[in-house]
Structure 1
Amino acid sequence: MGLSIGFIILFVAFSLIDADAMTAAISVGFAWTTKNLGAYFQLLLLLNLFIAVGVAVSPAARARIGDRQRPDMGTFKWVSIILCTLLGGGGVFFAAGEPIYHFVVTPPAFSSEPGTPAAVPNALAQSFMHWGFHAWAVLGTLAAIVLSHHHYDRG
C-alpha cells in the first residue's frame, strides 16, 4: 500500500511541477505499451472471456461463496446489480462517446486516417473490444467472483 501511495504522490507532484513533461511521458509509455503489449492484452481479454464461460458451464458454477446454504440475493438481483453498475458506471456515456472518439482519433492499433470512412470499422472494433463480451467477462464475472471470495471467505 505504501508503494501505491508513494507512486500517486510522485505522479501528482510531477504533474504539478511540469504538466507538459508528464503528458509527454504518459504518451510515450502508452505508445510503447500499445505497440509492444497490445496484442497480449487482447489475448488476455479473450482468455478471460473463455475462463468466465468455462466457469459458468462447469460444476464450479454451483459453488457457494461464504459457506451459505442460500445466497444473500437471487440471480435476477445479482445480474441487475452487475448490469446497472457497468452501464451506469460508464456505458451510458462511453458506449456512445467512445466510437466517436476513436473515429476522430485513430486508435494506436490501426493506421486509418481519422475522420474518414476507413476509420469507421476501426473505431467500432476498438469500442466493441471495450464494451463487448470481453468487458462483461472481466468486470461482471471474474472480478465479482474474486471480490466476493475475498469479502465472504477471507473477511
Structure 2
Amino acid sequence: TIFYALRYHSIMTLQRAVVTMASVWLASTVSSTIFITYYRNNAILLCLIGFFLFMLVLMLVLYIHMFALARHHLCSISSQQKQPTIYRSSSLKGAITLTILLGVFFICWGPFFLHLILIVTCPTNPFCTCFFSYFNLFLILIICNSVVDPLIYVFRSQELRRTLREVVLCSW
C-alpha cells in the first residue's frame, strides 16, 4: 500500500490479495442483487445512497491522507537534497491523477445516485419525473467509469503505457 510502501510485499500476500478480491466481488454481488430485487423499497435506496456517500467520503479521506504523507516525504527528501523540483513535479502528477480519478468517479456515479435521491424525496414532482427519463444514460455513465479508470492510469503513467505497448505489440 502507499502508506507502507517498504513493507508492501510482506503485507500484501497472495492469500490477502485473494481474500480482498473475493470480498469485493461478494459485496458487489450481494449489493447489486439486493438493489435489483428490492429497487422499489425506499429503505434499500437510502442504504445505497448512504453507501455511496460513505465511499465518497472514505476516498476523500484516504486521498487527503495520501497527499499529506506524500508531502511529508517530499519535505523530508527536499531537506536532504538540493533538487526539490523533480520530486514536486512527480508528486504533483500523482495528485493530479488521483484528483482526475475522484472527479471521474463522482461525474459517472453522481447522476445515478441523484436519481435515487429524487426517487425517495420527490417521486411525483414533474421535474423529478423528467429527470427519471435519463436513467439509461446514468447506467451508461457508470459503465463508462469502468472503462475510463484504466485509461486514466495508462495515460498518466509512462510505465503502464510502455507495458501496454509491449502487450499490444506482443513484444515485437
Larger Cα Rg: Structure 1 or Structure 2? 2
Whose relative contact order is higher, 1 or 2, with alpha carbons under 8 Å and at least 6 apart? 1
Superposition TM-score tier, normalisation by shorter sequence: 0.3 to 0.5
Question: Which structure features the higher share of helix residues?
Answer: 2
